[in-house]
Structure 1
Amino acid sequence: MTTEAALTTADLRLLAEAGGAAPSLHNSQPWRFRPTPDLRGLEVHADLRRAVPAADPDGRALHISIGAALFNLRVAAAHLGREAAVRLLPAGEGAQPRAVLDLSAPTDWSQPLGADLYPAIARRHSSRQPFTNRDVPEALVADLITAAQDEGVTLSMLEEHGVRRVLALTSEAEARIAADVTREAETRHWLRLEPSYDGIPLTALGSHDRDARVPMRGFTGHPPRHTTPAERFEALPQLATLTTHLDHQADWLRTGQALERVWLLATVHGLRASVLHQAVEIPETRWRLRDPADGPAHVQLVLRLGYGPPGTASPRRPVEDTLDPPAE
């Protein structure tokens, strides 16, 4: 079997830059990348100093973020002509690394997640702006469902009654978060009034729904200290849930990979997205997010999809901060 040469410094930087472009709660970017001793792979570590404990006490969002970074690494590896063989949690739950990628084999180009998705990594942004009322085509919805299934996660596009139920739960959770001084202080901690390499810049906050139908997160406090414009959002948002059968760290990592695979594919097709995260942060509202008709399931994320502005890019940590040097 053919074995690829050791990763070069340029290869490692390209991989780390792609991984670092993944979405994360409050743009906390809680990951580190470490070359394997043979320089034919990459370890993905959790940077626990960048956890968001009030909003994410069990580390679920942290692992979803790491999973999204992991998928970007897989896409970037394919761009380099390498196949990524992934092991999740090789040392068990809670241990480092969270994943290891073996990149020693050449790419099997029959796998549809290489060059077509790589350019979308840099173009993918959260869009917290109003979307149009244009429906996502059924064929694209089917492709997004398949993309999530390929990562072991179920994506469900919600019908009207499901959308209204999820919006009500998100509004309830947003109100509870607003009343929690610890959570609100943590959110403000990640708000950036000046240029930075992490956190949420004011330019990325987006708008608030003038008619209060779509409960966007109030990043700047309640009431807002820095107001964002109120605009009319879509009458009935197009929402999807990402669910798993179990609720362990491996399931969270798979959810992150599914999220990024779906989001990159959506970006390729001009579809915008943002995450409505509030309801999954409160145990009671998270449990009620699930559709009882679907049986036991764990909702990991709510995704808002639609057509509209692409969103503003959030800052990224420099590669030197996320990529460990090769071992001597």
Structure 2
Amino acid sequence: MPDDKTVQEIVADATVAPSMHNAQPWCFRFLRDGAVLELRADFSRAMPASDPAHRALHIGCGAALFNVRVAAAHAGLAARPTLLPDPADPALLAAVGLSQGPGKDEDLAPLHPAIPRRHTSRYPFAEQSLSTAERVALADAAEREGVIPLFPSAWHLELLLDLMHDAEGRENLHQGRRRDLARWTRVGTSEADTATEGVPEHAFGPRKRDGRAPARDFADRRPVADRGSTAFESHPNLLLLGTPEDRPADWLRTGQAMQRVLLRATLDGLATSPTSHALEWSDLRELVRDPTSSVAFVHMVLRIGHGPQGPRTGRRPVREVLQFV
């Protein structure tokens, strides 16, 4: 059985996963009898207006689950995750058995150095296409988690950018979604510098003065000192992640695929930014998919390119999210 320190280190790595508005909607419970680490949803951190079905919540928790698997492999442990093991307990998203020895995912440990280095970048990237080798590596990362990757064609990219622009305008007029945003953003130096959750003002990035890259404005009309504005790329590199079905298990798999892609990109020197603007509106989400592909449901859009890494954002201490039983 792993000792307490090892479990704490695994959970510490899990908590730096990305989640919508950095709400960190997870908690963990380690069952010493059986050496099982449970990943549980914290529905008090859900967003009723922006994520009523908890799809984004599951995706964020799936990303944390992938970090558990990587951290366990780094510690020399085999991790055996079971998704949604108890239908009577919807908060129990995964149960991960931990044991000594290498697991079947021996390729996970090399991803571990990217866990602390990966940060969402809300800055403009270079107007530069991804190389064929980069695209192949990112697509392979998604496919390893049973999720379908899709780099949009020219016409599809134009449609996506139009839908995301539409979503940005809608959000500015939706009071419920603006309340969700206000709850999880930290404006003001004293609040931002000490925040252990949410998006602090130093991670907002500049305002978009020009360009078509998707960029959510976390300031939401609030003044932010020294923020400035700049032009973003006109032809961003986007990667869609989707599945044939639209169930909680698919969302969890998408979260794991997203995190594998993000860690792979980080190791390859790429900057990344998950974006879900258009996916948060049911009518727009239906239009996001490419009808010529096998992706029936798109769960996440990733903006990936050559540019500055984003700043670190706070995380809750392990003692607040981990319980030993």
- Shorter-chain TM-score bucket reads over 0.9
Matches within 5 A, 1:165-184: 165-184=159-178
Structure 2 Cα separation of the partners of residues 149 and 34 of structure 1? 29
Unaligned 5+ residue runs, structure 2?
none
Q: Which secondary structure does the structure 2 equivalent of 1:145 belong to?
A: helix
Give the equivalent residue in structure 2 for 1:226: 224
Matches within 5 A, 1:118-157: 118-157=112-151
Matches within 5 A, 1:102-117: 102-108=97-103, 111-114=106-109, 116-117=110-111
Aligned 8 A contact 1:272 1:308 in 2: yes
CA deviation after TM superposition for structure 1 residue 97, in Å? 1.5
1:35 equivalent among 12, 30, 34? 30
- Matched residues, number: 319
CA deviation after TM superposition for structure 1 residue 107, in Å? 1.1
2:56 equivalent among 46, 58, 61? 61
Q: Alignment identity in percent?
A: 40
Structure 1 Cα separation of the partners of residues 69 and 105 of structure 2? 14
Aligned 8 A contact 2:25 2:45 in 1: yes
Unaligned 5+ residue runs, structure 1?
1-5
2:46 equivalent to 1:47: no
CA deviation after TM superposition for structure 1 residue 160, in Å? 2.3
1:93 to 1:277, Cα distance in 2 relative to 1, 3 A: farther
Give the equivalent residue in structure 2 for 1:217: 216
Q: Which secondary structure does the structure 2 equivalent of 1:34 belong to?
A: strand
Give the equivalent residue in structure 1 for 2:206: 207
Q: Which moved more, 1:295-304 or 1:310-319?
A: 295-304
Aligned 8 A contact 2:50 2:176 in 1: no
Aligned 8 A contact 2:145 2:256 in 1: yes
1:119 to 1:290, Cα distance in 2 relative to 1, 3 A: same
TM-score (norm: length of structure 1): 0.93
Structure 1 Cα separation of the partners of residues 118 and 16 of structure 2? 8
CA deviation after TM superposition for structure 1 residue 215, in Å? 3.5
Q: Provide Cα deviations, 1:22-45, integer angstroms capped at 9, x if missing partner.
A: 000010000111112326220100
Aligned 8 A contact 1:170 1:276 in 2: no
1:108 to 1:89, Cα distance in 2 relative to 1, 3 A: closer
Give the equivalent residue in structure 2 for 1:100: 95
1:153 to 1:184, Cα distance in 2 relative to 1, 3 A: same
Q: Which secondary structure does the structure 2 equivalent of 1:117 belong to?
A: helix
CA deviation after TM superposition for structure 1 residue 92, in Å? 2.1
1:88 to 1:110, Cα distance in 2 relative to 1, 3 A: closer
Measured on the aligned residues, the alpha-carbon RMSD in Å equals: 1.5
